[in-house]
Homo-oligomer: A and B are copies of this chain.
């Protein structure tokens, strides 16, 4: 291959018969440099397509201009929206993104966190895996003054800024909506409460029932493990075959709701007339299933944006690194499954 060397400051300096430092300063319009020289240097650089060696710059500045992102799953509508927001914001500020998956496993999370740490990212964004109950792999960043921001799946054991959606009110609005539609016997299929989102949504559900004076039964709350469609199907079956079947389902996520809908359709229950179904997250598919699924929309893109802004701010100044919480609003999207 042709061995074309990239143009360097030294080359320009030699060509114009001035010093390297003058070239460097001229390119950034340093006040010490005369306008004539600035023009001269810039013209030459432009003409010869000078592009600064970022590797050298970053090394000198001891900054990678990389931020790390750890998410449980990449192939996921919500998380890809988040990524999209992160990328846009990061790029706007001259930062690049290094994305890693934890696959919802603590082991993998630790592995990729260490990799990002050795890569010397300037900051870290993370949505914790469901398994995460230790934080040493994240503390090492803080010990090295590398700011961390958590989003969506967060923990209060990690004292860093966080961005979440208002799961509580999202759930509250969703459940209230079904109550107003006349369906007051509402079941809830949720995840384990160690995950903050699950806990908040459940609280919102309970508060709505309470505020509207609806029946509350412990066995109307089912705890999913993997949060799959199958679980939705199974629990729907259990609940609908019980002595006191509900006439509405509030599901922790759209996938579970789909399982519930499948059971209901298989057994000739009419949605929403007989039984209403509400999801959470508003996946793309929610609008395409039949009947279209009502859901609580989480602003993924916005979360990504906001989290990245917080992180970049923390990178700039130390004071921004205190734990603080940004809570973004959810939007109730009403479709056919709740009338």
A contact set with B: CB distance below 8 Å: 1-2, 4, 6, 51-56, 58-59, 62-64, 66, 74-77, 80-81, 83-84, 87, 91, 96-101, 115, 117-120, 143-145, 258, 265, 284-285, 288-290, 318
- Indicate if the CB atoms of B87 and A83 lie closer than 8 Å: no
Contacts of A96 in B (CB 8 A): 66, 98, 119
Report the minimum CB–CB distance from A137 to chain B (whole Å): 14
A75 with B66, Cβ < 8 A, contacts A2-B145, A53-B120, A120-B53 known: no
Give the CA-CA distance A77 to B119 in the complex, in Å: 29
- Residues A75 and B75 in contact, CB atoms below 8 Å apart: no
Question: Which residues in B have their C-beta under 8 angstroms from that of A98?
Answer: 96-97
List 17 interface pairs A-B (beta carbons < 8 Å), by A numbering. A1-B145, A1-B318, A4-B143, A55-B59, A58-B59, A74-B80, A75-B77, A75-B81, A76-B80, A80-B80, A84-B101, A87-B99, A91-B115, A97-B99, A284-B284, A284-B285, A285-B288
Closest Cβ of chain B to A110, distance in Å, is: 15
User: Given the interface contacts A87-B101, A97-B99, does A75 sit within 8 Å of B80 by beta carbon?
Assistant: yes
CB of A48, distance to nearest CB on chain B (Å): 14
A6–B145 CA distance with the chains assembled, in angstroms:
11
Give the residue of B75, B143, B289 whose beta carbon is less than 8 angstroms from that of A289.
B289
Q: Complex formed: what's the CA distance from A1 to B316 in Å?
A: 13
Give every chain B residue within 8 A of A59 (Cβ-Cβ): 53, 55-56, 58-59
Say how far A64's CB is from chain B's closest CB, in angstroms.
Answer: 6
Q: A53-B120, A80-B80, A91-B115 are in contact. List 16 more A-B contacts (CB 8 A).
A: A1-B318, A51-B117, A54-B64, A55-B62, A55-B63, A55-B64, A56-B59, A74-B87, A76-B80, A83-B99, A84-B101, A285-B288, A285-B289, A288-B288, A288-B289, A289-B290
Task: List residues of chain B with CB within 8 A of the CB of A143.
Answer: 4
Q: Is the CB of A258 within 8 A of B288?
A: yes
B120 touches A55 (CB 8 A): yes
For residue A67, give the distance in angstroms from its CB to the closest CB of chain B.
Answer: 11
Are B100 and A91 neighbours in the complex by a CB distance under 8 Å? yes
Complex-state Cα separation, A2 to B99, whole angstroms: 28
Q: Find the residue from A52, A77, A143, A285 having the highest chain B CB count within 10 A.
A: A285
Q: State in angstroms the CA–CA spacing of A84 and B71 once bound together.
A: 12
Asked if residues B75 and A118 are in contact (CB atoms below 8 Å), the reply is no
Nearest chain B residue, comparing its CB with the CB of A56: B59
A64 to B143, CA, bound (A): 26
Residues of chain B lying within 8 A (CB to CB) of residue A52: 118
* Nearest-neighbor residue (CB-CB) of A143 within chain B: B4
How many whole Å from A29's CB to the nearest CB in chain B?
19
Q: How far is the CA of A51 from the CA of B120 in the complex (A)?
A: 10
Identify the 8 closest CB pairs spanning chains A and B, nearest first.
A285-B285, A59-B59, A290-B290, A55-B59, A75-B80, A74-B84, A1-B145, A80-B80
Determine the distance from Cα of A4 to Cα of B55 in the docked complex, in whole angstroms.
23
Contacting residues, chain B, for A97 (C-beta < 8 A): 98-99
Beta-carbon nearest neighbor of A300 in chain B: B75
